[in-house]
Amino acid sequence: MNKKPSKFGSERLLRFTAYTITILFVVCMLYPFMYTISNSAKDNVKIYDVPPKLLPDPAQSMSIVIDYSSLGELSDQELLDKALRDNALAMFATNYEYPRESIFEIEVYGMLNNKTIFYSRAHKMKLELIRDFGVYQSSVVKSDVLLYGDRYIRANDSIGYQFDPKGLDRVPELDHLDDSYSPTLTSLLSDSYKTNGKFIGSGVSNHNLLLLESFKYYFQLPSYVYADNPMIAKYSFLTFVLNSFIVIGWAIVTQVILSSISAFVISRLLSPKAGSIVLLYFLGAMMIPFASIMLPQLIMYKDMGFYNNYAALLLPFLYPFGFYIYLFKGFFDRIPGDYFEAAKLDGAKNFYLYMKICMPLSKPIISLIALQTFIGNWNDFFWAWMVTEDQKLWTLNVALYNLSMNGSTKQNFILGLSLITIIPVILLTIICSKQLKQGIMASGVKG
């Protein structure tokens, strides 16, 4: 005789199936995000490895030691000039000749009579910026090219260095480091690039924090790409962040104020029939595809002089969004009428009812609308791209698009900047999850 499955067994199977499917979907959703994080920490060459790796290789720090004792008597200025030349050769040659090695830091020590007289340190991404957009833009990495004119001086000024003929408080410690690169570096620096000083050794160690340091230079990318723009050259990626926050802040303030006023009028001042008609107008406006009004709106803004300025970015938010009006109206309809009657008996006007009754009780709705407005406009791209040509007016997504269209921009830089723009939305959603739940409950449950 066949036994029917127990109710407890069916519920357990259903629960197991639900958990399994949920976990599967969570993994599928998180994998692209985790892969973006991994690739943003990799060198650009490593991104294209087949098969792809989820985790980046350990970041290596290379120390290069060059000795000047055999050059004889030199003035301090002559010694510094030779050290600067060798530093440019050593750093850019190493970075160029070892593209598949995860060398994220290069330190160059200049020695004289067993004393360190010169020291310079550069992150790999800093060297990439100088090579792709800085002093050596569109140049081949060769000895005569690296040392042409005052290029090596400007490159060293950008990298930074220390020089003291009396000796620096820095000693290269190569004994405990891996020196597997020394044989090839000897041939590279002595024969191919012909440094003035004598290469006497190198060492490599792992420092994985260098992977995180890459984001510092991703953030500096716009100041190199758009160096001709004074504001971007000074503030780099912060220019686009500021523009996005200006637009989002304005959008939140205007949408909360205009939507709540419109909803108050519909809910409390108009008759139910007239309120329904006005609400239907705002909701119907949401159904119009933006593509159908895009060109007319752009032409209208241009004719009014609202193009390639902040007005073009801000004025569209002076029209209240229909869904927000619907949320506010639904909440205002649920506020007990006794509150309004008691206030009116005391002589309160409509503005008082709106400011002192409706808005203080609407905090959950305001939080919900502010969060949705932030996320929606943080991700907005098309309108801001259409109405701005001046680089200093770009919002984050417009800047990311234009940077990605630059043929010299490497993919790890774009992925790193994209990650920087994603994290604030994720953090805000996590922090405001409680307010989000309260807003949803307040908009759909009677008070």
The string of pLDDT tens digits covering residues 78-97 is 999 999 999 999 999 999 99
- pLDDT given at position 7: 60
What is the structure's pLDDT at 445? 42
Backbone φ and ψ of 191, nearest 5°: -100, -50
What length is written for the chain? 447
Give residue-wise pLDDT tens across range 370-398: 988 998 888 889 899 999 999 999 999 99
**Contacts for 378 with CB less than 8 Å, ≥ 6 apart:** 244, 248, 396, 421, 424, 425
Query: Is residue 256 scored above 80 in pLDDT?
Result: yes
Task: Return the CATH fold of 232-444.
Answer: MetI-like fold (1.10.3720)
Residue 447 pLDDT greater than 50, yes or no: no
Token pair belonging to 444: 């759909």
The residue ranges of every structural domain in the chain are 7-40, 60-220, 232-444
- How would residue 16 be classed by pLDDT, with cut points 50, 70 and 90? confident
301: buried, middle or exposed (CB in 10 Å: 19+, 13-18, 0-12)? buried
Q: Which SS3 state, helix, strand or coil, does residue 136 take?
A: coil
Q: Which residues of 22-60 are buried (b: 16+ CB within 10 A; e: fewer)?
A: eeeeeeeeeeeeeeebbbbbbbbebbeeeeeeeebbebb
Q: Are 320 and 255 in contact (CB under 8 A)?
A: yes
Closest by CA position to 366, among listed 335, 324, 326: 324
CA distance 284 to 280: 6
Neighbours of 429 (CB within 10 A): 13
Residue 125 has pLDDT above 90, yes or no: yes
Report the pLDDT value the prediction gives residue 438, as an integer from 0 to 100.
62
Lowest mean pLDDT among 4-13, 43-52, 379-388: 4-13
Mean pLDDT over residues 102-120, rounded? 93
Closest CA to 197 of 109, 68, 324: 68
pLDDT in tens, 222-249: 999 999 999 999 999 999 999 999 999 9
pLDDT for res 344? 87
**Alpha-carbon span 58 to 143, nearest angstrom:** 30
Alpha helices (H) in 101-208, listed in sequence order = 124-132, 143-146, 151-159, 182-187
